[in-house]
């Protein structure tokens, strides 16, 4: 790919709004807006906990002791289960993990199917299941927490049939469905989302009790959870980024494209029937990168902008984009400069917004509005000297993307320690969700 060819592609992407978010001024304004949204929503959490924009929980990130937990993960792609045991010292052991595709359950009586999935003795025995004293449910959809740790689904997301969940507390409905199948479990329950689970898992890796901890998800969705050990009220605060839409992110001058939604993003928006309310997740989560890349590649083809030397590689790449391993695999193996360039652009743009959200949370936690953010055209870093230190765990169903997210966000943030899972089986989310359940306060 020659310099002229690259410039032609850049000009085309710029014409369609792709590079808006790379602008330092825009990015700084985006970070400031995110911070104001988080501050406002966190204040409203105390007054009206029914808000959809943020979720809070009284769960403390402390290891449970002498307990047996059924851990369930209802994600955007898979549903997983395992049994986790904590001994008297809080040391945990886990059964193997069983999983099934979420889509197969959603077209049926979901809770009945979930109960049958739980009762299948494929990775644990019925005797062991009957000994559990808690159910930890990681629920990757918008929900409202209750004081007893249970929760109600609060909005439709990811193609889920809300009618099956309307007015039904998740844990209590599952327990009732298990009873209908002939099994009574005497167990309490706690519902958390995936970002909170990743945050709780981070506590098993970190030895720094004074650090501000952030757990994040970049999979079919994108969320970030915060725990600040120095805060007056010990609570985990988590975003519900699916509700961070254009109307919420407009700046004071009415600029409704503050986070750089491009024509390509809006095409995905229409395909997903989001009615023009393209949200934060569109430009951030790993899942949507594949969709947006497909749209960009089609547009480049229609405008005859793909160099002859890259056409074969681009066609092959396009045909593999539904495979979550495609990006990192192709990045490592391809000799096509254009494929590498497109992957780099997508990961950088996505990481910029994710990093902006991290920074907004650091500002909220530290009360330091002077933390600045710079775009990719500058020093590729966020100047965040966070004092006591910040630790961030990056998790998500697009496992093969996570090392690229970690690498890019590390370049953008100073004095932050990043962690990334070494397993691709969802075990970290299951383990994370099982931690701290004794301290559930709603």
Residue 60 in any domain: the answer is yes
The answer to the question of residue 105 being in a domain is yes
Give the pLDDT of residue 396. Answer: 83
**Which residue reads 């691709």 in tokens?**
424
93 within 8 A of 153, measured Cβ to Cβ:
no
Cα–Cα separations (whole angstroms), residue 322 to 4, 336, 394, 400: 30, 19, 22, 13
At CA 334, angle to CA 332 and CA 340, rounded to 5?
Answer: 80
Q: Is 101 exposed, middle or buried (0-12, 13-18, 19+ CB in 10 A)?
A: exposed
Determine the structural domain holding residue 63 and report its residue range: 56-193+431-436
First CA to last CA distance, the chain: 56
- Strand locations in 171-249, DSSP E? 188-192, 212-218, 222-227, 236-239
Q: Quick one: CA dihedral 348, 352, 354, 355, positive or negative?
A: positive
How many other β-carbons are positioned within 10 Å of the β-carbon of residue 184? 11
Any domain includes 182: yes
Residue 110 lies in a domain: yes
CA quadruple 393, 397, 400, 405: dihedral sign? negative
Give the Cα separation of 109 and 290 in Å (integer).
31
> Per residue of the chain (442 residues), what is the pLDDT tens digit?
899 999 999 999 999 988 876 777 777 777 777 787 777 777 766 555 555 567 666 555 555 678 899 999 988 778 999 999 988 887 889 999 999 887 666 667 889 999 999 999 999 999 999 999 899 999 887 777 787 888 888 766 666 667 778 889 999 999 999 999 999 999 988 888 888 888 888 888 888 888 889 999 887 778 888 888 887 777 788 877 766 766 666 555 555 566 667 888 888 878 877 776 666 777 778 778 888 999 999 999 999 999 999 999 999 999 988 776 667 777 888 889 999 999 988 888 888 888 888 888 888 887 755 555 554 444 444 554 444 588 999 988 777 788 888 888 888 887 788 998 877 777 888 888 888 654 433 3
Render pLDDT for 268-297 as a digit per residue (tens, 0 to 9).
878 877 776 666 777 778 778 888 999 999
266, 83 Cβ separation under 8 angstroms: no
- pTM comes to 0.84
The CATH number for 106's domain is 3.30.420.40
Question: Tens of pLDDT along 167-199?
Answer: 899 999 999 999 999 999 999 888 888 888 888
Query: Which pLDDT does position 441 carry in this prediction?
Result: 36
What is the predicted pLDDT for the residue at 175?
97
The reply to whether 136 falls in a domain is: yes
Is residue 423 in a domain? no
278 in a structural domain: no
Residue 30: phi and psi, rounded to 5, are -65, -45
How many domains, the chain? 1
CA–CA dist 415, 52 (Å, integer): 32
- Predicted local distance difference test score (pLDDT) of residue 440: 39
Predicted pLDDT at 439: 43
- Parallel, antiparallel, or unpaired: how do β-strands 134-139 and 188-192 relate? parallel
Alpha carbon distances (Å) from 144 to 54, 57, 218: 10, 10, 21
- Which DSSP state fits 207? -
Q: Angle at the Cα of 364 (from 359 to 369), degrees rounded to 5?
A: 70
Q: Does residue 95 sit within a domain?
A: yes
Please check whether residue 315 is in contact with residue 298, taking contact to mean a CB–CB distance below 8 angstroms: no
Q: Which residues pair with 225 in a beta bridge?
A: 215, 238
């Amino acid at each position: 790919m020659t310099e002229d060819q690259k410039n032609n592609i850049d000009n085309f992407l710029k014409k369609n709004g792709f590079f808006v978010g790379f602008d330092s001024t825009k990015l700084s304004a985006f970070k400031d807006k995110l911070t104001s949204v988080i501050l406002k929503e966190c204040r409203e959490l105390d007054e009206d906990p029914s808000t959809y924009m943020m979720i809070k929980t009284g769960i403390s990130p402390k290891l449970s002791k002498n307990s047996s937990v059924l851990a369930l993960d209802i994600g955007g792609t898979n549903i997983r289960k395992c049994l986790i045991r904590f001994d008297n010292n809080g040391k945990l052991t886990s059964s193997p993990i069983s999983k099934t595709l979420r889509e197969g359950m959603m077209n049926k009586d979901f809770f009945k199917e979930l109960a049958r999935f739980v009762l299948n003795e494929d990775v644990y025995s019925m005797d062991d299941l009957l000994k559990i004293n808690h159910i930890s449910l990681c629920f990757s959809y918008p929900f409202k927490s209750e004081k007893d740790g249970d929760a109600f689904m609060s909005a439709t997301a990811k193609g889920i049939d809300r009618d099956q969940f309307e007015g039904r507390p998740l844990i209590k409905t599952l327990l009732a469905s298990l009873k209908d199948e002939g099994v009574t479990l005497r167990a309490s329950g706690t519902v958390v989302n995936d970002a909170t689970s990743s945050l709780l898992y981070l506590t098993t890796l970190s030895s720094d009790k004074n650090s501000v901890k952030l757990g994040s998800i970049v999979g079919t969705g994108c969320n970030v959870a915060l725990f600040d050990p120095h805060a007056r009220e010990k609570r985990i605060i988590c975003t519900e980024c699916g509700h961070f839409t254009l109307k919420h992110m407009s700046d004071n001058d009415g600029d409704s494209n503050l986070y750089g939604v491009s024509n390509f993003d809006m095409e995905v928006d229409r395909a997903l029937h989001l009615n023009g309310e393209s949200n934060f997740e569109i430009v951030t989560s790993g899942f949507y990168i594949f969709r947006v890349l497909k749209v960009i590649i089609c547009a480049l083809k229609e405008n005859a902008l793909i160099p002859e030397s890259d056409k074969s590689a681009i066609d092959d790449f396009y045909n593999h984009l539904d495979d979550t391993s495609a990006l990192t695999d192709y990045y490592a193996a391809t000799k096509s400069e254009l494929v590498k360039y497109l992957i780099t652009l997508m990961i950088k743009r996505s990481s910029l917004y994710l990093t902006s959200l991290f920074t907004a949370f650091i500002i909220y936690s530290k009360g330091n509005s002077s933390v600045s953010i710079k775009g990719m055209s500058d020093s590729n870093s966020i100047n965040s000297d966070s004092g006591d230190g910040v630790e961030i765990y990056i998790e998500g169903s697009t496992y093969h993307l996570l090392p690229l997210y970690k690498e890019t966000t590390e370049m953008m943030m100073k004095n932050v320690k990043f962690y990334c899972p070494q397993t691709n089986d969802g075990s970290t989310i299951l383990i994370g969700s099982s931690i701290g359940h004794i301290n559930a306060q709603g």
